[in-house]
Every structure is written in C-alpha cells, then in structure tokens.
C-alpha cells in the first residue's frame, strides 16, 4: 500500500497484515514514506532478490514486522535475515504439485509461506492456482493463501481446509489502482468471509 489515508482506512477494517512493497520494478513500489504507517496491523515489507543490506535498511526505516521474500532467495539468505532477528514470509509460485517440495529447504527459517500463482513475473497476476494442489503440502510452516483471490472467493475460502492455513493474501483484485486498496470491496469481502 502507498497512500496514508488508504492505509489507515484499511487498517480500521481489522486486517492483521499490511504490505509495503519495496521492489523497484513493481507498480506498487513505495517510493516515499507515507504520512501514516500501520499501528495495529503488522507491517510487511515485500522484496524481490534484493541485497540483504538494502532489505535490512528498509526494515529498520519502516519498522517492519515481517519481510516477505518474493523472489528466488536461498535458504542461506533467509537464515542470515533470521539471524538478525527478522520474521520472514517466503513466497512460492505454485502451478503443479511438484512445486511444493521446494518449501522443505525453508522449514524452520520462515514464520509463514505464501503460496501464490506461478507467473513469468513475481506475483500480482490476479490469477488463481488450483488450491487442491495444497493437499500435497505436508510441511510444518503455516501458510498464507494468495493468487487471484477476489470478491467472489469467500465461499471457496470458507470451504478450503488445510491444517496449516493461516490466512489469505488480498492484493490486486482488491485495488482501485496499484498500491491503492478498494476499502469498501475489502469490507464486504471480510464480512462475507466471516459468515
């Protein structure tokens, strides 16, 4: 998210995490410090294959609660950040069951995994992957479900069962423009999700 009022209004919905994107090639990249940063929701910094020193600088400047790594960051990269006391969310692009064993090398290094749709870029496709593939995930790390979740996904999410499901990632399908959330659409979705 990029705009102060939009961040504040979204936080007031009671969301747990709010993402701040620091990947320079993303249309959602946060170029300057907004006038308001989340106080109740946890701050998640999104990075893609960026130097550890750069990640640590942003984490300090924005008082990030989690670092979400959306590229091809290695287990060693994660271990280094973890040793600095950072909590990590590692994204994995999923298209087939054979994409899931890659998570094994990251067990114990990340607080959450994010399962997203495999695309030529790093997330943000607005497309949903086949969630039934996650029956092949037997890891211990809890995960966030991402990839094309939209205003009509609440019923499917309520029906989805997995012992490690910890939450959902609501991004491009809930935006007015890149980095700006449609607060009313989010509100309606969250109400629908709680039914």
Check residue 77 and give its pLDDT.
98
Threshold 0.85, pTM exceeds: yes
The CATH number covering residue 122 comes to 3.20.20.70
H or E element at residue 8: helix 4-11
H or E element at residue 185: helix 183-193
Residue 174 sits in which domain range? Answer: 4-193
Read off the pLDDT of residues 32-72 as tens digits, 9 standing for 90 and up.
899 999 999 999 999 999 999 999 999 999 999 999 999 99
CA dihedral 133, 137, 141, 143 (to 10 degrees): 10
Check residue 126 and give its pLDDT.
65
**Whole-number Å distance between alpha carbons of 106 and 188:** 35
Number of domains in the chain: 1
**CA-based nearest residue to 18, from 183, 185, 184, 193:** 183
The single-letter DSSP state of residue 29 is B
**Whole-number Å distance between alpha carbons of 160 and 93:** 19
Check residue 65 and give its pLDDT.
98
The single-letter DSSP state of residue 95 is S
Tokens of 45: 């910094």
- In the chain, count of helices (H) and strands (E)? 5, 9
| pLDDT (tens place) for every residue of the chain, 195 residues total | 999 999 999 999 999 999 999 999 999 999 889 999 999 999 999 999 999 999 999 999 999 999 999 999 999 999 999 999 999 999 999 999 999 999 999 999 999 999 998 876 655 556 789 999 999 999 999 999 998 899 899 999 999 999 999 999 998 899 999 999 999 999 999 999 988
Residues 110, 70 contacting (CB under 8 angstroms) = no
Pairing relationship of beta strands 87-94 and 112-117 according to DSSP bridges: parallel
For the chain, what percentages of helix, strand and coil (3-state, to nearest 5) are there? 30, 20, 45
């Amino acid at each position: 998210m990029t705009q102060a009022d939009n961040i504040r209004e979204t936080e007031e919905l009671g969301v747990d995490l709010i993402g701040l994107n620091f990947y320079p090639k993303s249309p959602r990249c946060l170029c300057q410090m907004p006038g308001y940063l989340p106080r109740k929701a946890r701050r998640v910094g999104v990075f893609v294959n960026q130097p550890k020193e750069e990640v640590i600088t942003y984490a300090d400047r924005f008082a990030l609660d989690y670092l979400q790594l959306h590229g091809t960051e290695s287990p060693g990269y994660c271990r280094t950040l973890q040793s600095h006391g950072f909590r990590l969310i590692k994204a994995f692009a999923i298209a087939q069951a054979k994409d899931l064993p890659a998570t094994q090398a990251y067990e114990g290094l990340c607080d959450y995994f994010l399962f997203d749709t495999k695309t030529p870029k790093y997330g943000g496709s607005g497309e949903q992957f086949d969630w039934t593939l996650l029956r092949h995930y037997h890891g211990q790390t809890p995960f966030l479900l991402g990839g094309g979740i939209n205003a009509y996904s609440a019923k499917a999410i309520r029906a989805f069962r997995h012992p490690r499901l910890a939450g959902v990632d609501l991004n491009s399908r809930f935006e007015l423009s890149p980095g700006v959330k449609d607060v009313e659409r989010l509100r309606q979705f969250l109400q629908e999700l709680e039914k």
